[in-house]
Amino acid sequence: MGYTTGARAALRTLSAALFVGMCIGAAQAGATPMPKARPYFSNTTLLPPMPLPQSKLPARQFPTPIGKPLSLVPVPIENQRVFPPAGNSKMCVLRGWSVEVLESVDGPGGCGIDQPVSLRSVVAGGQEIGLTMPVQIECSLAQQLDGWLQDVAVPAARRELGVSITRIRTAAGYACRGRNNQRGAKLSEHGKGNAIDIAGFHLSNGREVTVEEGWDGSSAEVRFLSSLHKGACERFTTVLGPDADRYHRDHLHFDQGCHGKDCKYRVCK
């Protein structure tokens, strides 16, 4: 074999060996398992997520169901009808409310009122009760009337009739006249603003109980008016109803007149 031929043979042998080595290396590399992934740590600060874009479409409106109206709970009497005095005027303080005392009334023939108050309504049972006719009476009588309404009239209406009083039918307050409207008679307590006449009561159920018809009316009306009459006899010095005489057949008369030497005697008819 010549030099040239031997060199070529040696080159072919070397190339074959290199090829075989590369194949073996590739096979070993493919057989070696890949390393497991490791968590990535860095010093990067994570920002809060971006807010989602708001829809420009209007929100769907659902109809609100119609319910019963709210029940109006009455305000406590102490906060309901307390009037501040105007200037230096005096106040007639009643139970939980007050009314301004007006200038004294000086009428003819002994008529007049020392501390008059004008009432268009009263407060009792946590609500305002109107008067069908405004009355002007003495402050002390208004205080007695207030107590009678609170303790007698309003509870009796609820107990006997199951309703509340909404208005009071007033027949007379201050009036400069003789007793029973008789000419020449002794001055009536009405002439002093010291008497009030009540003819009936409007109720929350729309009815009206009058003294004239209810005095001998249904059993509930009789019990109601009898309770008012009896309770008044414990507060006023004079109480006259339909059983007193023909002059009082259609109303209840309350006054604070003086009876007897010490003014402690009471008239209840």
Instruction: Give the side-chain half-sphere CA count within 13 A for 13.
Output: 6
CA-only gyration radius of the chain, Å = 50
- pLDDT value of residue 20: 46
Judged against a pLDDT cut of 70, whether residue 35 lies above it is answered with no
pLDDT > 80? residue 13:
no
200-223 average pLDDT score: 97
Query: Which DSSP helix (H) or strand (E) runs through 22?
Result: helix 3-31
Report long-range pairs for 138-142 (Cβ below 8 Å, ≥24 apart). 138/113, 138/114, 138/192, 138/193, 138/194, 138/256, 139/92, 139/101, 139/115, 140/115, 140/194, 140/256, 141/193, 141/194, 141/195, 141/196, 141/254, 141/255, 141/256, 142/92, 142/94, 142/99, 142/117
CB 249 within 8 Å of CB 225: no
Assign 115 a pLDDT band (cuts: 50, 70, 90).
Answer: very high
Q: Measured between alpha carbons, how far is 109 from 22 in angstroms, rounded to an integer?
A: 146
| pTM exceeding 0.75 | no
pLDDT tens string 167-203 = 999 999 999 999 988 887 899 999 999 999 999 999 9
Share above pLDDT 90 across residues of the chain, in percent, rounded to a whole number = 56
* Beta-carbon count within 10 A of 234 CB: 13
pLDDT of 88 reads 55
Taking the C-alpha atoms of residue 228 and residue 145, their distance in angstroms, rounded to an integer, is 12
Nearest by Cα to 135 from 170, 109, 107: 170
Q: What average pLDDT score do residues 125-132 get?
A: 90
pLDDT at residue 31, rounded to an integer: 46
pLDDT tens-digit map of 65-99: 333 222 222 333 333 344 444 555 689 999 878 99
Segment 226-238 shows an average pLDDT of 96
What pLDDT, on the 0 to 100 scale, is given for residue 268? 95
- How far is the C-alpha of 198 from the C-alpha of 103, rounded, in Å? 25
